[in-house]
């Protein structure tokens, strides 16, 4: 029966590259330690403890890197929405999804950019879009 070490032997071009990399890193660490530039762990006094509540309060909840997760639409709601969309499209109504960007032409002969914020069905079966104007 072969020894367990023989079964775990790695061969190939990658082995030599990995060993060369480890040697370079070992030499670099030795040079840093000899020059006194090695990073030392912080002193116990340098570490400041903060509660998670304090840290999370300081994090902005708006901005380009933070978006709120939307609740997942259930299958029943999705089917109902698709039925309403199809019926409205057949009736000649505009069907816009929430978050759609659009421009609205006004009586003053100007176009106003807006975003669809919500939509609901009116009493007579029409779809009514709630929009928020930019600026």
pLDDT digits (tens, 9 = 90+) for 51-73: 777 777 766 665 566 666 677 78
Residue 37 lies in a domain: no
Residue 128 lies in a domain: yes
Confidence at 9, pLDDT banded by 50, 70, 90: low
Residue 52 lies in a domain: no
Inter-residue contact 134 to 116 (CB < 8 Å): no
Residue 43 lies in a domain: no
Residue 114 lies in a domain: yes
Q: How many CB atoms lie within 10 A of CB 119?
A: 19
Name the residue range of residue 116's domain. Answer: 75-133
Number of domains in the chain: 1
State if pTM tops 0.85.
Answer: no
**Helices marked H in 36-90 — which ranges?**
52-57, 75-90
For the domain that residue 85 is a member of, what is the CATH number? 2.30.30
CA angle 15, 19, 16 (to 5 degrees): 40
Residue 97 lies in a domain: yes
Burial of 131 (0-12, 13-18, 19+ CB in 10 A): middle
């Amino acid at each position: 029966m072969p020894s367990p070490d023989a079964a775990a032997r790695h061969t190939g071009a990658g082995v030599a590259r990995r060993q060369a990399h480890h040697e370079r890193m070992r030499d670099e660490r030795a040079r840093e330690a000899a020059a006194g530039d090695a990073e030392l762990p912080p002193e116990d006094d340098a570490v400041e403890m903060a509660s998670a509540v304090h840290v999370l309060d300081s994090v902005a909840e708006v901005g380009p890197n933070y978006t709120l997760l939307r609740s997942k639409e259930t299958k029943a709601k999705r089917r109902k929405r698709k039925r309403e969309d199809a019926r409205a499209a057949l009736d000649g109504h505009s069907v816009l999804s929430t978050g759609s960007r659009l421009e609205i032409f006004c009586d003053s002969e100007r176009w106003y950019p807006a975003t669809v914020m919500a939509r609901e069905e009116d009493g007579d079966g029409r779809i009514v879009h709630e929009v928020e104007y930019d600026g």
